[in-house]
Structure 1
């Protein structure tokens, strides 16, 4: 596993977890700015607000699960076809990660790089993300003659997605 190069070092992860514990509101705003495409301030704000609605202890547990889990040792057991969607520049998951995964997965594995920044192309590069999904699913080109995220149903989905019990 020595050829693997992940996104954050252990000291960065420890600092992230400590920040969640010590000043959750500040961490949520800062983390959103770090992982969402900087050219999309509305998505940064939405993601930051979504994080702030989460209880800090839930966010800490989730962050520990995400950042302290390592499943590289099972990649060679994956034999089904896989598609990995990655952005051009993602501070959380650098491009070395999907390349590593692709080299270890035994089944057919394709990597699609979306020409955008950040960890959440579904928030910031809707059209490109949907195009990649359509290609993967074999559904052909999608009609995207609407503004994603602006309709009343999307606002309701945002509320549902970010809703947590207090």
Structure 2
């Protein structure tokens, strides 16, 4: 097997007994955890990584065929766990990584102790059955077209929209830079997989205890989505943060740390 550590730019810090595996969301990389990971490294072994095509991962390992579903990404998570021989993993996933973690935990439940989902969604599209995902198909098509035609323009639009922190230009610029640094072709394909995935039918198969963290005003994921997840995932707990936006781990790291610690302890 190809070197998993190099492929996913895996970094390990901290010396705790138990491992927290942090998985970044779409358009980002492991730097997204810089405001909370060091705190957890004081008591846990912390594992960070980049999905293939993000951050300092090995872009040559990217195959459209493998990564055209979330299962390809879930396999990479399992590869990392197996390569490092991790047990009793506490998985913290942001956004679409929550569903990637769910697929990994359904496939290998014995590897995981708990899942923590930050801003998760099993389906971003509104459905005729009354499910509110937050987007219409046309919205997503426009977004994907914008990515193809003007990638930097897409990043300039998406960063402030997703972060919802109008008074913090520095954070918005940081997120925009992260978006822009992603390989455009990979980002476009990952966006399509993210926004057109429908994981709702898999929720009842998740048996690992799960914390669902939702922000009080998230422009990407409506509050009803968190309620839907809580209703369909056994042994789950839903917590709505005071934080606004889709990136509480960078906009409100202290509240994020507090909530995760409370759940773990």
Cα distance in 1 between the residues matched to 2:169 and 2:135:
23
Deviation of residue 112 (structure 1)?
1.2
Provide the residue aligned with 1:133 in structure 2.
Answer: 260
Residue 197 of structure 2 is aligned to residue 69 of structure 1: yes
CA distance in 1, matches of 2:152, 2:207: 42
Change (3 A) 1:9 1:59: same
Q: Larger % of strand: which?
A: 2
Aligned mates of 1:91, 1:37 — CA distance in 2:
7
Name which of 142, 151, 155 aligns with 1:24: 151
| 2:138 corresponds to | 11
Tell me which residue corresponds to 2:242.
Answer: 115
Q: What's the CA shift for 1:37? A: 2.5
In structure 1, list runs of 5 or more residues that go unmatched.
139-166
**TM superposition score normalised by structure 1:** 0.79
**Conserved? CA contact 2:144–2:191, under 8 Å:** yes
1:36 aligns with 2:159: no
Q: Could you report, residue by residue, the CA deviation over 1:10-69 in whole angstroms, capped at 9, with x for unpaired residues?
A: 111001000000100010011001000223221111000111111211110111111011
**Cα distance in 2 for residues equivalent to 1:10 and 1:20:** 16
Contact 1:37 1:116 in 2 (8 A): no
Partner of 2:218: 90
Q: Contact 2:210–2:237 at 8 Å: present in 1 too?
A: yes
Paired with 2:258 and 2:212, the residues of 1 have a C-alpha distance of: 14
CA distance in 1, matches of 2:140, 2:177: 22
Judge conservation of contact 2:163–2:245 (CA < 8 Å) in 1.
yes
Does the 8 Å contact 2:212/2:239 carry over to 1? Answer: yes
Unaligned runs of 5+ in 2: 1-126
SS of equivalent to 2:227: helix
Which consecutive aligned stretches of 4+ in structure 1 deviate over 3 angstroms post-superposition?
none
Between Structure 1 and Structure 2, which shows a larger proportion of helix residues? 1
Matched length = 137
User: Which residue number in structure 2 is paired with residue 102 of structure 1?
Assistant: 230
2:178 maps to which residue?
50
- Structure 1 Cα separation of the partners of residues 155 and 206 of structure 2: 34
